[in-house]
A and B are shown apart, each in its own frame.
Chain A
Amino acid sequence: MPISVLLGIALGTARVYGNVIIRGIASAIVIAFRGFPVLVTLLLIFFGLSDFGIYVPPFWTAVIGFILCSGSYQSEYVRGAIRSIDIGQSLAARSIGMTKFQEVLYIILPQAVRRAFLGITNELIYLVQYSSLAFVVGVPEMFAVTKTFNSLYFRPVETFTTLAVVYLVMISVLVIFFRGIERRLAIPGIEITTK
């Protein structure tokens, strides 16, 4: 999850500040992995790469696929947030002699990531949900295991309700965790912290 966020920040930043080449590469990644359904991405990594003699184990296929996909979505939240930062912040940073790189790293991103934070957490919750797709490349994740269990005992209501509750609990724990971070990131005087 942290890697997908970092990828998102890197891609989003590259698309705003990168030169033509960097921007082009970042945009291509984002267009591709937001364009492909996750399922197709996973199948392409697993089967597509094996055509070139590269075998990616199922678990790593899922990890790489989810990072690329999630990171691409994340990048748009970050890009939007960067765009929303007042130009005065940038002028002030340059006026004390910061390079463009220092400006982005110390002034723009700390503010942009805060603005993008809620969107980012939303995307991370999706990421947990995507994990149920990992079964297509044979990862024994919760959904696949539950399905197998169900086909053995044929108790769909009970088994899938249990699965739903497990997901709900997992997500709830995440939400509480995110709330904690949100509070820590809040800038006194600007953002209203939830009591």
Chain B
Amino acid sequence: MNSNIPVLKVENLKKSYAGKIILDGVNLEVDKGETKVILGPSGVGKSTLLRCINMLTLPDSGKIWLEGVELTEPNTDINKMRQKIGFVFQDFNLFHHLTVLKNVTIGLTKVKKIPEEEAIKIAASALEKVHIPNTLWNKYPAQISGGEKQRVAIARALAMKPSIMLYDEPTSALDPQLVGEVLQVIKELSTAGMTSLIVTHELHFALEVANELLFIYNGKIVEQGPPEEVFANPKHDIVKKYIASIYSRKG
């Protein structure tokens, strides 16, 4: 594949709900191995943007390409393309009726039609990457902690061997003491070269992990650049206010 093609390209993406504009022409690109972090106050369309990217929410207009294949083209087999887009939800959404291991293997056996035995090997390697010990493999989601659930959810996405991982506020539903273990895993994956697009409010984490920050406000990217630059010298008032508000909240 041509290495000049970005893994993800979004062009002039628009979405409104009931007359309210949520995304008002978003453009972005993520290259192979890059990690970009999306920041912004609540309710400005960050989650909508991620969901539009894997078409769980259908955009009103605009185009999205994954490795050069246009997802927004009606003839594209979106189910096939979604296998290549790892998605991590704020509230985990593990399959309640399946064990930890089955949560990770089901996509492999049912969607990719990989034989059970091989699927378990792939799942084992994914679970190892997120530091889930095999003593938890036969537990059900209701029997493990929030941090463990989110790490299993990450493994479920990773096992599909995605070209990019999308994280939608992956630690917002967690108790403060469990946030660290999940961010650590995301950081390790990102450092190891996993192309990632992350929505988060964890500024320290953003600073450590991001190649570029994208700040969204009123449905548009209003500021973007290397994290050090954006933090040290935010151009827009709203970005200053946002950074200040997060820091004051954390004390």
Which chain A residues have a beta carbon within 8 Å of chain B's beta carbons?
Answer: 86, 88-89, 91-99, 102, 106-107, 110-111, 114, 187-190
- Which residues of A have CB within 8 Å of B141? 189
Q: Taking the nearest CB of chain B, how far is it from the CB of A78, in angstroms?
A: 15
A94 & B95 in contact (Cβ 8 Å cutoff): no
Of all chain B residues, the one with the shortest Cβ separation from A95 is: B87
Q: Knowing A96-B107, A99-B79 are in contact, say whether A88-B89 is a contact too (CB < 8 A).
A: yes
Q: Taking the nearest CB of chain A, how far is it from the CB of B86, in angstroms?
A: 8
- Which residues of A have CB within 8 Å of B143? 188-189
- How many contacts between A and B, using CB within 8 angstroms? 77
Q: What CA separation (Å) do A89 and B97 show in the bound complex?
A: 10
B140 & A190 in contact (Cβ 8 Å cutoff): yes
B56 & A189 in contact (Cβ 8 Å cutoff): no
Q: What CA separation (Å) do A188 and B89 show in the bound complex?
A: 23
- Which residues of B have CB within 8 Å of A110? 97
A187 & B142 in contact (Cβ 8 Å cutoff): yes
A95 & B54 in contact (Cβ 8 Å cutoff): yes
- Which residues of A have CB within 8 Å of B94? 92
Q: Quick check: is B110 within 8 A (CB to CB) of the other chain?
A: yes
Q: Taking the nearest CB of chain B, how far is it from the CB of A102, in angstroms?
A: 6
The 14 sampled A-B contact pairs (Cβ below 8 Å) are: A88-B89, A88-B92, A89-B96, A91-B93, A94-B56, A96-B107, A97-B111, A97-B112, A98-B107, A107-B95, A187-B97, A188-B139, A189-B139, A189-B140
Q: What CA separation (Å) do A190 and B95 show in the bound complex?
A: 12
Q: Which of A95, A102, A107 has the most CB of B within 10 A?
A: A95
Query: Considering only CB atoms and an 8 Å cut-off, how many residues of chain B contact the other chain?
Result: 31
A96 & B157 in contact (Cβ 8 Å cutoff): yes
Of all chain B residues, the one with the shortest Cβ separation from A96 is: B107
- Which residues of B have CB within 8 Å of A95? 54, 56, 82, 85, 87, 89, 157
Of all chain B residues, the one with the shortest Cβ separation from A111 is: B97
- Which residues of A have CB within 8 Å of B199? none
- Which residues of A have CB within 8 Å of B107? 96-98
Flag B154-180 by CB within 8 Å of A: 1 or 0 each: 001100100000000000000000000
- Which residues of B have CB within 8 Å of A94? 56, 79, 82
Q: Quick check: is B230 within 8 A (CB to CB) of the other chain?
A: no
Q: What CA separation (Å) do A98 and B110 show in the bound complex?
A: 8
A97 & B80 in contact (Cβ 8 Å cutoff): yes
For window 77-133 of B, CB contacts with A under 8 Å fall at 79-83, 85, 87, 89, 91-97, 106-107, 110-112
Q: Taking the nearest CB of chain B, how far is it from the CB of A112, in angstroms?
A: 10
A89 & B95 in contact (Cβ 8 Å cutoff): yes
For window 26-53 of B, CB contacts with A under 8 Å fall at none
- Which residues of B have CB within 8 Å of A96? 82-83, 87, 106-107, 111, 156-157, 160
A91 & B82 in contact (Cβ 8 Å cutoff): no
Given contacts A91-B56, A96-B87, 6 further A-B contacts (CB under 8 A): A92-B93, A92-B94, A93-B95, A106-B106, A188-B142, A189-B143
Q: Which 8 A-B residue pairings sit nearest by Cβ, starting from the closest? A: A189-B142, A97-B83, A92-B93, A88-B93, A96-B107, A189-B143, A95-B87, A97-B82
Of all chain B residues, the one with the shortest Cβ separation from A99 is: B79
- Which residues of A have CB within 8 Å of B112? 97
- Which residues of A have CB within 8 Å of B92? 88
A98 & B79 in contact (Cβ 8 Å cutoff): yes
- Which residues of A have CB within 8 Å of B160? 96-97
A97, A102, A187: the one within 8 Å of B140 (CB): A187
- Which residues of A have CB within 8 Å of B139? 188-189
Q: What CA separation (Å) do A189 and B98 show in the bound complex?
A: 12
- Which residues of B have CB within 8 Å of A187? 96-97, 140, 142
A97 & B79 in contact (Cβ 8 Å cutoff): yes
